[in-house]
Structure 1
Amino acid sequence: MAILSGQRLTAARLAALLPVSGPWTDYGTPTTIWTASGSNPTIGNGSIVARYQLLGGAASKTCAFRIKINPGSTTTFGRGTYSFLLPFDIADEQTASAIFRDNSAATQFGGSAWLQSARTIHSVALSSGTLWSPTVPAPWSQNDRAEISGIYERA
């Protein structure tokens, strides 16, 4: 369908022009989504939600993703810098956005995630370049929140 000169653009006509996106779909498990370079964290009674959506339908190479981590009282934070799993291999190195909320101090820290190879976010860094770890951007604890989200081209 095309919009011809003189035609009014309505919601129905616009929807007919846009590709249909797939549903938001969960992926991975807590032990594969969040890992560390030393010993891995364990989510315990906290929660990890990792979801993706293919923008434009199942055959699309454009993937939106979101990872949310909410530590609980039995979460352990491992050792070393953190990595995160993506739903699909990436076509090329890209960046995404990240935010960490230190609940005890009511402070938020923004950063960038580096989608480096295969299905992995190899590092999440603050604007200073310091990588996320059990003590960065602040000591992680119960009721803090971390979120990484973005859109990337899958291989």
Structure 2
Amino acid sequence: MTYPIIAAGSRLPPAKLNPPPWSSYGPGWSATTTNPSIGNGSVAGRWRYLDPSVVEIAVVIRPGTTTSFGSGTYRLNLPVDAVAGGPDPLIQGVGLFGGALYRFVGWANTSSTPASFVTLYRDNSTSENLTAWSPTAPVTFAAGHSVSFNGTYRVAW
């Protein structure tokens, strides 16, 4: 992948502003105790390099009637490992559960090692702390619900 070098005072034509194309990926959806199984639901993802060291991702999880939700804190696999030494990857998400919206974040501690996944958390309504997202919190995850995540992070080389 090559990127244009722009000299001071030059103009960048609109064609050069187009972002790179998206690539599909099958994001792994897992949990710390027992992994969920999507069954007749769907987990879809796409990703792209924004520059040689930054990746953008978008993921949607839509459980179906035969989805098994597993147990423990949920995780999402990244298409490319996040770099050690930060900044830590932070993926933002929103979920629609039975007509109510919930905000989620995916985060990984990359202070000393690269990360291949982000752990998923939700806002805690009673404090400023984040709480781990599990099959029953903030509400029971079920068929007909939907969660979308989007974000960027620095990649490991």
Shorter-chain TM-score above 0.5 = yes
- Partners in 2 of 1:28 and 1:116 — Cα distance? 23
Which one has a larger percent strand, Structure 1 or Structure 2?
2
Amino acid at match of 1:116: N
Identity over the aligned pairs, expressed in percent? 31
State the structure with more CA Rg: 1
- Residue 92 (structure 2) aligns with: 97
- Partners in 1 of 2:90 and 2:7 — Cα distance? 34
Aligned length: 140
- Partners in 2 of 1:85 and 1:137 — Cα distance? 21
Deviations 1:106-132 (A, max 9, x none): 100012221334211023232442111
Which one has a larger percent helix, Structure 1 or Structure 2?
1
Deviations 1:54-111 (A, max 9, x none): 114xxx1111001100001100100111011001111222322111110x2x100012
Q: Alignment RMSD, CA only?
A: 2.1
- Partners in 2 of 1:75 and 1:116 — Cα distance? 29
- The 4+ residue runs of structure 1 with deviation greater than 6 A are none
Q: TM-score, normalised by structure 1?
A: 0.80
- Partners in 1 of 2:153 and 2:70 — Cα distance? 28
Q: TM-score, normalised by structure 2?
A: 0.79
- Partners in 2 of 1:2 and 1:100 — Cα distance? 43
Does residue 1:54 correspond to 2:52, yes or no? no
* 1:106-125 mapped onto 2 (5 Å cutoff): 106-117=99-110, 118-125=115-122
Q: CA deviation at 1:53?
A: 1.0
- Residue 28 (structure 1) aligns with: 26
| Structure 2: runs of 5 or more not aligned | 1-5
- Partners in 2 of 1:66 and 1:121 — Cα distance? 13
- Partners in 2 of 1:74 and 1:130 — Cα distance? 27
